[in-house]
Amino acid sequence: MSAEKYIDDALKGEHGEAAMIAAKVLVAIEKASRSKGFIKISSAHISGINYHNIGDAGLELLKDISKVARFSVPTSINPCGAPVLETDKTFSKELVEKQKAIYDAFIKMGAKNSCTCVPYEGLNVPKRGEHVSWAESSAVVYGNSVLGIYTNKEGGLSALASAILGFTPYYGMHVDENRKPKKIIQLHFQINGNVKYGALGYFIGKFTKDIVGIMGIASAKKGELKALSASIGTYGPQPMFVIEPRVDEAEIVPLEKNQLDEAVSKISDEAEPQAIVLGCPFLSAEEVKKLADLVRGKRFDIPTYLFIDRTSFNELSQEEKEALQASGAKLYFDVCPTLSYLPETFGYTNVLSNSAKHYFYTKHQSNIKVKLMDVEEIVDKHVKK
In the complex, the residues that contact ligand F3S under the rule CB under 6 A are 78-79, 117, 138, 230, 280-282, 307, 336-339, 357, 361
Minimum distance of ligand F3S from residue 364's CB (angstroms):
12
Minimum distance of ligand F3S from residue 315's CB (angstroms):
19
Which is closer to ligand F3S, CB of 26 or CB of 132?
132
According to DSSP, residue 121 is labeled: G
What's the burial of 381, exposed, middle or buried (CB within 10 Å: 0-12/13-18/19+)?
Answer: middle
- CB 111 within 8 Å of CB 76: yes
Question: What is d(CA 161, CA 166) in angstroms, rounded to the nearest whole number?
Answer: 8
Which is closer to ligand F3S, CB of 49 or CB of 69?
49
Query: Is the previous residue joined to 83 through a cis bond, with omega within 30 degrees of 0?
Result: no
Q: Mind giving me the DSSP string for 93-107?
A: HHHHHHHHHHHHHHH
Minimum distance of ligand F3S from residue 143's CB (angstroms):
13
Which is closer to ligand F3S, CB of 117 or CB of 184?
117
- CB 284 within 8 Å of CB 311: no
Which is closer to ligand F3S, CB of 45 or CB of 131?
45
How big, in percent rounded to 5, are the helix, strand and coil portions of the chain? 45, 15, 35
Say which amino acid occupies 360: F
Question: What is d(CA 246, CA 248) in angstroms, rounded to the nearest whole number?
Answer: 6
- CB 20 within 8 Å of CB 7: no
Minimum distance of ligand F3S from residue 357's CB (angstroms):
5
Minimum distance of ligand F3S from residue 355's CB (angstroms):
7
Interacting residues of 304 by C-beta distance below 8 A, sequence separation 6+: 275, 276, 277, 278, 327, 328, 329, 330, 382
Instruction: Residue 286: name the closest of 261, 260, 313 by CA.
Output: 313
Mode of pairing for the β-strands spanning 251-255 and 183-187: parallel
Which is closer to ligand F3S, CB of 109 or CB of 117?
117
Which is closer to ligand F3S, CB of 10 or CB of 275?
275
Minimum distance of ligand F3S from residue 30's CB (angstroms):
28
Which is closer to ligand F3S, CB of 27 or CB of 278?
278
Question: What is d(CA 113, CA 281) in angstroms, rounded to the nearest whole number?
Answer: 18
Minimum distance of ligand F3S from residue 384's CB (angstroms):
27
- CB 310 within 8 Å of CB 114: yes
Which is closer to ligand F3S, CB of 305 or CB of 361?
361
What's the burial of 269, exposed, middle or buried (CB within 10 Å: 0-12/13-18/19+)?
Answer: middle
Minimum distance of ligand F3S from residue 376's CB (angstroms):
21
Which is closer to ligand F3S, CB of 357 or CB of 369?
357
Minimum distance of ligand F3S from residue 115's CB (angstroms):
9
